[in-house]
Amino acid sequence: MATPPVELRNKRLLLDYQLPSQLGEIAKLAEAVEGVLPNRPDLAFTANLCLEELITNTINYGLSGAPDRVIRVRISLSDDWLEILLKDDAPPFDPFAEAPTPDLDLDIDERPIGGLGVHMVKSMMDAAHAYYDGSGNLIVLLKTLRS
């Protein structure tokens, strides 16, 4: 049986942010996210972690380090969900399809350095999807508000 569609009831936009494509800008975004979620530091932490992982991917790989582009971040709250939208103007790239799943059972000598960012986003969010809309990649993340 099909599961009912996610309903984003009473959705309101909390933050609409234009981030210059530089790693040093992410800390300012993090402060803005904390500022719009003052009563939910847990959600702000999760949102900031996922944003950093995806934005560093976009800057380093999607944009090959180009510092003069803009990544748009929108954060909304509905009755039951936190919604995060990320939009870049990089070539088509789906981090959720392309990043290999890390093997978390390897012992310390065998664990590779790195490769955890996308895994963390998938683990912390309830839904994570990427779309290419002709002008760039749109990433949509949803996280339940139930703690």
Partner 1 sequence: MHITDETLTDAQVVHVSGRLDSTTSPLLEQYLLSVVESHPRVIVDFTRLDYISSAGLRVLLMAAKKSRARSGAFALCALKPALREVFEISGFLSIIAVHPDAESARQAFSS
Spatial separation of the C-alpha atoms in residues 21 and 41, rounded to whole Å? 25
User: In what order do the strands lie in the sheet containing 137-144?
Assistant: 12-20, 70-77, 81-87, 137-144, 127-132
User: Contacting partner 1 (CB under 8 A), which of 49, 99, 140, 142?
Assistant: 49
- From 6-14, 63-71, 85-93, 98-106, span contacting partner 1 (CB under 8 A): 98-106
Site membership for partner 1, residue 53 (CB under 8 A): yes
User: Contacting partner 1 (CB under 8 A), which of 23, 66, 70, 127?
Assistant: 23
User: Contacting partner 1 (CB under 8 A), which of 33, 37, 48, 87?
Assistant: 48
Tokens 């309903």: give the residue: 7
User: What DSSP state is assigned to residue 58?
Assistant: I
Residue 113: Cβ-neighbour burial (10 angstroms; 0-12, 13-18, 19+): exposed
* Interface residue list for partner 1 (CB under 8 A): 23-24, 26-27, 30, 41-42, 45-46, 48-49, 52-53, 56, 102, 104-105, 107-109, 111, 113-114, 116-117, 119-120, 123-124
